[in-house]
DNA sequence: AATCCATTCAACCGCCTGGGT
DNA sequence: GACCCAGGCGGTTGAATGGAT
């Protein structure tokens, strides 16, 4: 079947937009809103393809566009999100308010990708390019293959001031276990850490229907999601995340708590960083672990659980050893001591 | 100053998807 | 189910720019 062109090719202008065209487009969208892109050019008096108008608006003229250099935090988020989503630029852009998919894509291709390659990380797989090569201890200048993730870069750059998302995940688990270890029933924590128990069921069905707060883990793209998560691979390969939608006000049956939770999340200034570490799209093909219903109904638990998320975010962004609950780090990855305390 | 080359990024292209009929 | 349409997406292009020679 012959594809119908999105617009008539004759007489349409291409190339860089002029200020006059921008003003026309802005005026039209402000008056009529977004949408109807195919007919917009005629109505707005633009000799442009509707697609071109939409792109110009979405990538450049939209009032909430954030322009300028990417911050270190934004770059970290992009790397983390790319490890999860791959080249799904729009998905990544949704987590970076004010940044467009096109901008992120360009920045990735022109800056981040090169930097990752330079330090020995495959930007496609986020694994070391030196897999299988001899240990770099013989060659101190070559990257260490043990930390075969994109986070090596930030570790290298911020080893004293930042914690990697991986350690954040483990630390988060520690805190949950330490704080709630005496109150959450065993099966719930078994679910969270996937300790091989029967309750590592991936209750995808209930996620979309009855879910409230779902702790959900995402496997690295290179790993099979079908395997039952073990304690170790949870720490190494997975980030604990909380589904955003699950923490909406509708989550909580106690109406008096609704506003509180809304407040907490609206108070989080940097949703980008928060979401890059804890939040994820609720795709149908992703698997979820559910917190026990009883936990969700326990507003006290949910209150503290939410506070942990918030505190964790704050501590990670301005980490100093003095004010962070100590977490033993047995090796280069965090250990999950809290769960041991609980089960011990 | 002139030329060449590399880099950046706005814009385009073609494909895909979902909704409506 | 088939078809059409609108919108969205990722990959690619090419003009503009800056640095090196």
Pick the last residue of a domain from A61, A91, A116.
A61
* Same structural domain, A176 and A260: yes
Instruction: Flag whether A127 is in a domain.
Output: yes
Residue after which a domain boundary falls, among A103, A132, A158 = A158
Both A249 and A108 in one domain: the answer is: no
Residue A240 φ/ψ, nearest 5 degrees: -80, 130
User: Does A294 have pLDDT greater than 60?
Assistant: no
- On whether both A187 and A280 belong to a single domain, the answer is yes
pLDDT number for residue A303: 54
The C-alpha angle A202, A266, A184, rounded to 5 degrees, equals 40
Q: How confident is the model at residue A131 (pLDDT cuts 50, 70, 90)?
A: low
pTM: 0.47
Answer for A54: CB within 7 Å of strand C.
yes
Nucleotide at minimal C1' distance from the A105 CA? C10
Q: What is the mean pLDDT of chain A?
A: 51
Contact A74, A99 (CB under 8 A): yes
Looking at the fold, whether A176 and A313 belong to one and the same domain comes out as yes
A92 plus A122 within the same structural domain: yes
- The answer to whether residues A152 and A170 belong to one domain is no
Same domain for A98 and A173, yes or no, is no
- Whether A104 and A228 share a structural domain: no
* Number of domains present in the structure of chain A: 3
Pairwise pLDDT comparison (A6 vs A139), residue with the higher score: A6
pLDDT band at A116 (very low <50, low <70, confident <90, very high): confident
Rg of chain A in Å (alpha carbons)? 23
Q: Is the CB of A266 under 7 A from strand C?
A: no
Q: Whole domain around residue A23: which residue ranges?
A: 19-61
pLDDT over threshold 50, residue A15: yes
The predicted pLDDT at position A20 comes to: 87
Helix (H/G/I), strand (E/B), else coil: A83: helix
In a domain, A44, yes or no: yes
The pLDDT score that the predictor gives to residue A36 is 84
Q: Name the residue with higher pLDDT: A180 or A29.
A: A29
Q: How distant is C1' of B18 from CA of A93, in Å?
A: 21
Same domain for A284 and A218, yes or no, is yes
pLDDT (mean) for A207-230: 28
CB-to-strand B contacts below 7 angstroms? A 3, 6, 13-17, 48-49, 51-52, 55-56, 59-60, 102-103, 105-107, 109-111, 114
Higher pLDDT, A327 or A180: A180
Q: What CATH number does residue A41 fall under?
A: 1.10.10
Domain boundary among A136, A158, A180: A158
Supply the pLDDT for residue A45.
87
Protein residue nearest nucleotide B6, by CA to C1'? A110
Token match 């099966």: residue?
A: A187
CA of A41 to C1' of B2 (A): 43
Of the listed ranges A33-37, A52-56, A325-329, the one predicted with least confidence? A325-329
Q: Is residue A129 part of a domain?
A: yes
Question: Alpha-carbon distance A156 to A115, whole Å?
Answer: 12
**What are the pLDDT digits (tens) for A319-328?**
222 222 222 2
Q: Residue A292: inside a domain, yes or no?
A: yes
Does residue A66 form part of some domain? Answer: no
Which chain C positions have some atom within 7 A of a protein CB?
4-12, 15-16
- What pLDDT is recorded for position A110? 85
**Is residue A145 assigned to a domain?**
yes
With respect to residue A5, please indicate whether it lies within any of the assigned structural domains.
no
Interatomic CA distance for residues A299 and A302, integer angstroms: 5
Residues A180 and A296 in one domain: yes
Report CA-CA distances (Å) from A124 to A100, A146, A181, A280: 21, 17, 38, 20
Do residue A203 and residue A225 come from a single domain? yes
Separation CA A318–CA A324 (nearest Å):
10
pLDDT category of residue A9 using cuts at 50, 70 and 90: low
A322 domain-assigned: no
Q: Is the pLDDT of residue A19 over 60?
A: yes
Q: What pLDDT is attached to residue A185?
A: 35
**CATH code of residue A114:** 1.10.10.60
Number of other residues whose CB lies within 10 A of the CB of residue A233: 16
In chain A, the percentage of residues whose pLDDT exceeds 70 is: 34
A152 shares a domain with A289: no
């Amino acid at each position: 079947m012959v594809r119908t062109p999105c617009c008539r090719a004759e007489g349409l202008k291409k190339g860089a937009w002029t200020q006059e065209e921008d003003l026309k487009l802005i005026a039209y969208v402000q008056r009529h809103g977004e949408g109807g892109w195919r007919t917009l050019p005629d109505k707005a008096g633009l000799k442009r393809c509707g697609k071109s108008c939409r792109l110009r608006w979405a990538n450049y003229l939209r009032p909430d566009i954030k322009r300028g250099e990417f911050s270190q935090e934004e770059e970290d988020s992009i790397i983390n999100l790319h490890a999860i989503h791959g080249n799904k630029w729009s998905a990544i852009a949704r987590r970076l308010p004010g940044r467009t998919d096109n901008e992120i894509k360009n920045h990735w291709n022109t800056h981040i990708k090169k930097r990752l390659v330079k330090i020995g990380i495959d930007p496609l797989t986020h694994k070391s390019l030196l897999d299988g090569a001899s240990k770099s201890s013989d060659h101190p200048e070559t990257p260490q293959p043990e930390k075969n993730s994109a986070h090596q870069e930030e570790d290298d750059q911020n080893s004293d001031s930042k914690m990697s998302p991986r350690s954040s995940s483990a630390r988060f688990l520690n805190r949950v276990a330490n704080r709630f270890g005496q109150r959450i029933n065993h099966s719930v924590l078994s679910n969270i850490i996937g300790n091989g128990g029967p309750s590592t069921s991936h209750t995808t069905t209930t996620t979309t229907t009855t879910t409230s707060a779902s702790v959900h883990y995402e496997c690295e793209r290179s790993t099979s999601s079908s395997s039952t998560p073990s304690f170790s691979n949870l720490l190494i390969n997975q980030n604990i995340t909380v589904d955003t939608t699950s923490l909406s006000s509708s989550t909580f049956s106690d109406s008096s708590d609704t506003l509180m939770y809304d407040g907490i999340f609206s108070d989080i200034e940097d949703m980008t960083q928060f979401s890059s570490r804890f939040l994820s799209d609720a795709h149908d093909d992703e698997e979820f672990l559910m917190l026990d219903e009883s936990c969700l109904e326990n507003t006290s638990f949910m209150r503290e659980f939410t506070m942990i998320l918030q505190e964790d975010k704050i501590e990670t962004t301005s980490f100093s050893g003095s004010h962070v609950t100590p977490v033993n780090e047995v090796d280069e990855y965090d250990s999950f001591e809290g769960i041991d305390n609980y089960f011990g």
